[in-house]
Structure 1
Amino acid sequence: MNDTREHILRVSYKLFLKKSYKEVTMKELVENSGLSKGAFYHYFEGKEQLFGEVIDKSFSDFSVDYSKFSHDSLYEFFHDYIKFINERMELFKKNNDCDSVFDLNYFSLIFDACKLIPSFYEKLNANLQDELNAWTAIIKLAREKGEIKSPMSDEQIARIFIYTNDASSLQNILKGQEPVLSSSLLQLWKDFYEEIKE
């Protein structure tokens, strides 16, 4: 991607995180980019187009390719997941020169995107379904291999892994902490795993 375009996206992401979509003005976006108005408009026609690309980039930066995780065991799968999240968050912080990846404003940004970009809402729901499918598949495989045993269905177990991640992330954000405290989430998942392990 073009360095100038990338710079504009990074600066705009930070502004959209600080304020809502409606509160950020084109004037602020141009000023914070450090570019002339003409140079800025060479890359983006307006705020709506820019916001859409900021959302797409942010979404793709945090999209998970579950096929890259170990499928040898559920245990290795969730360890790979934690490792991926840690690496992605560190890379994001480095590339965006910030201390934290998410805060409450991140959720506002997501809700703005759902309201303003219909295709994003569909993409988000597809992503959530992919997440459920990936977890359900590895749990099914773990059950078939005799790694785990539980009266709960594969999907119920998958939802516990997913929802504990979501809930702990939200709770940490509300406390002003990093959303995924990998050590505490990993310990929670390990403890749950011990309960369902064969």
Structure 2
Amino acid sequence: MNDTREHILKVAFNLFLVKSYKEVTMAELVEKTGMSKGAFYYYFKSKEQLFLEAIKSCMSSITPDFSIFDKNSLYEFYHQYVVYQNRILNSLQLYGDDLDRGLTVNYYSLVFDALKVFPSFRERLLEHEQDELKAWKEVISTAKKNGEIRSFMNDEQIAKVFIYTNDGIALRISLMKNRSEDVSDISDTLLELWDSFYMELKG
């Protein structure tokens, strides 16, 4: 990506996080980038265009590539996932310099803003949800076949427990805390619950 374009996206994302889509003005965006109005508008013609690009850029950066995780062991898969997620959550600080590290309430608000401004953005989120569910189901199916786990729950039910637990912990900690150690809190709590659930699945 062009360095100037990337600079604009990061500055914009930070502003949208700190404030909100409605509160941020184009004049403020131009000022914060330190660019001339003409140079700025060369890359982005409207706030809507910039907002969508900033959201997409961030989503692309933090969406897991499930193909890099071990698919032969559920235990290894979810441990690698936590390590990866830890790195991704820390990377959000690169976008939101004025914010605490990790997923914050501001980030969730930003996603809801995107859904209001661009209803089609929901399709992108649903695609990610389906990709994530598929990845979990595949490794869970393999874990059952090789005897790693046993459970009366079907693959999708088990997958949703892992996914929804992750979503719930991240949101709850974001709502309850406002500290720099949020990332480690999420990881520690998540692993504790996932390890316990895994032991139940092992029987």
TM-score range, shorter chain: over 0.9
Show CA shifts across 1:46-77 (max 9, x none): 10110110011011011111111001200000
CA contact (8 A) 2:30 2:37 kept: yes
Equivalent position of 2:81 in the other structure: 81
Q: 1-side partners of 2:94 and 2:54: how far apart?
A: 17
Q: 1-side partners of 2:83 and 2:106: how far apart?
A: 25
- Unmatched runs of 5 consecutive residues or more in structure 2: none
- 1:10 paired with 2:10, answer yes
Equivalent position of 2:159 in the other structure: 158
Q: How many residues get paired?
A: 198
Q: 1-side partners of 2:63 and 2:118: how far apart?
A: 18
Q: 1-side partners of 2:87 and 2:168: how far apart?
A: 21
Q: 2-side partners of 1:17 and 1:94: how far apart?
A: 12
How far residue 167 of structure 1 moved from its aligned partner, in angstroms, is 0.6
Q: 2-side partners of 1:186 and 1:165: how far apart?
A: 10
- 1:107 paired with 2:105, answer no
CA contact (8 A) 2:92 2:103 kept: no
Matches within 5 A, 1:1-198: 1-94=1-94, 97=97, 99-177=100-178, 178=182, 181-198=186-203
Q: 2-side partners of 1:30 and 1:19: how far apart?
A: 16
CA contact (8 A) 2:44 2:50 kept: yes
Compare relative contact order (CA 8 Å, sep 6+) and give the higher one, 1 or 2: 2
TM-score, with length taken from structure 1: 0.94
Q: Determine what percentage of the aligned residue pairs are the same residue.
A: 52
TM-score, with length taken from structure 2: 0.92
Assess, with a 3 A threshold, how the Cα gap between structure 1 residues 108 and 36 changes in structure 2: closer, same or farther: same
How far residue 94 of structure 1 moved from its aligned partner, in angstroms, is 4.5
How far residue 95 of structure 1 moved from its aligned partner, in angstroms, is 6.2
Q: 1-side partners of 2:159 and 2:110: how far apart?
A: 27
- Unmatched runs of 5 consecutive residues or more in structure 1: none
How far residue 183 of structure 1 moved from its aligned partner, in angstroms, is 1.6
Q: 2-side partners of 1:196 and 1:15: how far apart?
A: 44
CA contact (8 A) 2:11 2:33 kept: yes
How far residue 159 of structure 1 moved from its aligned partner, in angstroms, is 0.6
Show CA shifts across 1:123-155 (max 9, x none): 101101111111111111100111000111111
How far residue 89 of structure 1 moved from its aligned partner, in angstroms, is 2.3
Show CA shifts across 1:5-40 (max 9, x none): 111111100110112211111011111111111111
Q: 1-side partners of 2:18 and 2:94: how far apart?
A: 18
